[in-house]
Amino acid sequence: TGLMGELANSTLNAGGKVIGVEAQMFVDEGVHMDNLTELYIEKDIADRRTRMIELGDAFIAFPGATGTLEEVSEILSKLSLYQLKCPCIFYNVNGYYDHLKAFLQHMIDCELSTPKQQQNIYFLDSLNEIANVLKDEN
């Protein structure tokens, strides 16, 4: 549903593959897509996030709410601990993630983080920029 549903449908309509990872609670509520290339159903949100990290080669956060923030926070943590080495991209539509970008810089300024711990984190304003980062990673 929503933005992710639109993105999935656009990808499928263009001949692409879409792998979904859903928590059982969303399936029980009927909030999932049936026409995906592949669908993993996990016990809960924590298991869903773990599976997404296992499957992901890159992570793109579109503007979202607290669930998006929770998911991407684990990616940021794993990057800072050098447990992942992949791009974490914030699609910064209309400056949506400007405050988060400033907060991450504030962590560096306060010497609670380092540029090295925040490498592979991108704040990008266009889909073309995202595509370029993803191409550079392959």
Cα gap 32→5, rounded to integer Å: 9
Pairing status of strand 88-91 against strand 121-124: parallel
pLDDT at 14: 95
pLDDT at 116: 97
Q: Are residues 69 and 43 in the same domain?
A: no
Taking the model in full, what pTM does it have?
0.89
Domain around 93: 58-138
Task: Write the DSSP string, the chain.
Answer: -HHHHHHHHHHHHTT---EEEEEHHHHHTT-S-SS-SEEEEESSHHHHHHHHHHH-SSEEE-S--HHHHHHHHHHHHHHHTTS--S-EEEE-GGGTTHHHHHHHHHHHHTTSS-TTTTTTEEEESSHHHHHHHHHHH-
pLDDT at 56: 93
Cα gap 103→72, rounded to integer Å: 14
Per-residue pLDDT of the chain (138 residues; tens, 9 = 90+): 678 888 899 999 999 999 999 999 989 998 878 889 999 999 999 999 999 999 999 999 999 999 899 999 999 999 999 999 999 999 999 999 999 999 999 999 999 999 999 999 999 999 999 999 999 876
Q: Are residues 74 and 106 in the same domain?
A: yes
Total domains present in the chain: 2
pLDDT at 33: 83
pLDDT at 61: 96
Q: Are residues 23 and 40 in the same domain?
A: yes
Q: Are residues 77 and 49 in the same domain?
A: no
